[in-house]
Structure 1
Amino acid sequence: MPYITTPDGTEIYYTELGEGRPVIFSHGWPLSSDAWQKELKLFADAGYRAIAHDRRGHGRSARTYRGNDMDTYVADLASLAEQLDLQDILLVGHSTGGGEVVRYAATRGAGRVSKVATAGAVPPIMLQSAANPEGTPLEVFDGIRAGVLNDRSQFYKDLAETFFGFNHQPEKRSQGLVDDFQRQGMMAGLNAAYDCVKVFSETDFTKDLEALDVPILIAHGDDDQIVPIAAAAEKAITLVSQGTLKVYEGASHGIWGDYQVALDDDILAFFAE
């Protein structure tokens, strides 16, 4: 299996398909590059070199005790791009991965990154505060941490119901998606999964969005129960200089079904512009 080794000695797994202009996919919590398997094929078939990595502590990457923070995640992504000698990069990030690619493009990607696309992304900031009343209360994230710590196997199964919106669309429920969400979640080290809750909920990406100097497609489902659109995409679009907001009616946080088909088509069209 292909790995790169970061400057601090951490092994980061990645997978790739195809040849051509590079597209890097960054996954959400608590998943892995496996979440992008369909996109890897679709984008490779469309003539791109499609690459997805497992964030440190997740999937097949090394389970580290330290370094589970956004700046280190971004440094790992930078190491991947540098070691694979990638240029003219197109970035795609979902949820936590959306924050990762935005910060990388804004702080480490000058001269390498051409466009960014995010879906259900966490920027600007998820946590509720006086300055961000639309955000999610701290107690919700404390509950996620408790679920991960005490019975993560069952917690991931339960979380999948709202992640994919099956509680709102029970007739479309897929046991396979639930099982795969749990499988990928269990691949993540407990320590990394626990620490990452703070990362995706409390990291402030406001300055990153303001500094972004490449075009960005901000995609979001209007029935996203994990990262509500009012605190995320609707705010993020006001902070970027070259942004396009695309809202998907009835779409959940998880990328699947008709939403996945439409999103993939829209990202391919955006990258081809």
Structure 2
Amino acid sequence: MGKWIEVEQDVQVYVEDIGQGEPVVFIHGWPLSNKSFEGQISALAENGYRYIGIDLRGLGKSDRPWSEYNYDMAASDVDKVVTELELTNFVLGGFSMGGPISIRYITNYGADKVKHLLLMGAAAPRFTQAEGFEFGMKPEEVDDIIANIEKDRPGFIEEFSGMFFAKDHSEPFMKWFQSLALESSAHGTIGYAKALRDEELRKETKALSLPVTLFHGAKDEICPVELSHWMNDTIANSTLVTFEESGHGMNVDEKDKFNEELLKLLK
């Protein structure tokens, strides 16, 4: 069932709430929507779990105010959804940009309600290179992405989608996948790109004390698998599951394995 939840005056985010049982909250990546987890919904609902997918503000079906596209605001929106739905003892899953947003949620609002954190191809602890951190894109490469979005957003999305997967998928699927990104607002897409470029989470990632599982595609061209190796070496209570045949979109490239590992984690 889809619903809109007010997160501040005149701003609502869209939430899919499907199934019954232990809740699993999914935070999608940039610049997509919760529809990108379509291949996981039935697997969860059929096995007694409650899928909760949040469209981040500015993206998907959620409202798209002009400003405030950063991890703090996104984490606040997640907290408002968790509070409205009265969620406790849930698994929090963050994919790509949803990964650092999930970490920021725990930093700002605590882990009391979260039993397990799942980071999937996460853009964490940061998406871009910095002093003492050589992984990921260079900040100026993100500047180029922003310029390309401003010049020709559909053209950029087509190119970006081509980097997303390691396996070939049908033309209808790729068109559908691109439509998820194009459904989002241009200004929200750019605002989150700036957050990906600038946000820093190394200290708060090191401070994570709850159980953490890391899923990552070995052939990821967007968030290199070295990011998850860094986190696995840094987070005290973490486990890394590598998808050897997958790119960034491991939940599509190796859907069966992804769902098997997801259900194994939830048991």
Match of 1:254 among 237, 249, 253: 249
Equivalence for 1:265: 260
Q: List structure 1 segments (4+ residues) > 6 angstroms apart after TM superposition.
A: none
1:126 CA drift (Å): 1.8
Match of 2:175 among 168, 179, 188: 179
Distance (whole Å) between structure 1 residues aligned to residue 177 and residue 95 of structure 2: 14
Q: Which amino acid aligns with 1:73?
A: A
Identify unmatched segments of 5+ residues in structure 2.
none
Equivalence for 2:115: 114
> TM-score under structure 1 normalisation?
0.93
Distance (whole Å) between structure 1 residues aligned to residue 11 and residue 260 of structure 2: 35
Q: Which amino acid aligns with 2:216?
A: H
Equivalence for 1:229: 225
Q: Residue by residue, what CA displacement relative to the aligned partner does 1:68-111 show, whole Å, maximum 9, x if unpaired?
A: 11000000000000000001011111100111112212331432
Equivalence for 1:55: 56
Structure 1 residues 258 and 134: alpha-carbon distance in aligned structure 2, compared to 1, 3 A threshold: closer
Q: Which amino acid aligns with 2:229?
A: E
Q: Residue by residue, what CA displacement relative to the aligned partner does 1:44-86 show, whole Å, maximum 9, x if unpaired?
A: 1111111101100001100111111100000000000000000
Distance (whole Å) between structure 1 residues aligned to residue 190 and residue 43 of structure 2: 32
Task: Report the secondary structure of 1:115's partner residue.
Answer: strand
Equivalence for 1:192: 188
Equivalence for 1:97: 98
Q: Any residues of structure 2 matched to 1:58-97 within 5 Å, and which?
A: 58-97=59-98
Distance (whole Å) between structure 2 residues aligned to residue 187 and residue 129 of structure 1: 32
Task: Report the secondary structure of 2:250's partner residue.
Answer: coil
Equivalence for 2:160: 159
Larger displacement relative to structure 2 (21-30 or 179-188): 179-188
> TM-score under structure 2 normalisation?
0.95
Q: Does 1:245 align with 2:246?
A: no
Cα contact 1:4–1:12 (8 A) shared by 2: yes
Task: Report the secondary structure of 2:131's partner residue.
Answer: coil
Cα contact 1:17–1:51 (8 A) shared by 2: yes
1:216 CA drift (Å): 0.7
Q: Number of paired residues? A: 266
Q: Which amino acid aligns with 1:85?
A: E
Q: Does 1:145 align with 2:146?
A: yes
Structure 1 residues 73 and 62: alpha-carbon distance in aligned structure 2, compared to 1, 3 A threshold: same
Q: Which amino acid aligns with 2:47?
A: A
1:257 CA drift (Å): 4.1
1:153 CA drift (Å): 0.9
1:258 CA drift (Å): 4.8
Cα contact 2:69–2:188 (8 A) shared by 1: yes
Task: Report the secondary structure of 1:80's partner residue.
Answer: helix
Q: Which amino acid aligns with 1:90?
A: V
Cα RMSD over matched residues? 1.5
Q: Residue by residue, what CA displacement relative to the aligned partner does 1:209-238 show, whole Å, maximum 9, x if unpaired?
A: 2222211101111110001112x1011112
Q: Residue by residue, what CA displacement relative to the aligned partner does 1:101-133 show, whole Å, maximum 9, x if unpaired?
A: 122123314321000111110111121123112
1:136 CA drift (Å): 1.3
Distance (whole Å) between structure 1 residues aligned to residue 34 and residue 222 of structure 2: 20
Task: Report the secondary structure of 1:6's partner residue.
Answer: strand
Larger displacement relative to structure 2 (14-23 or 206-215): 206-215
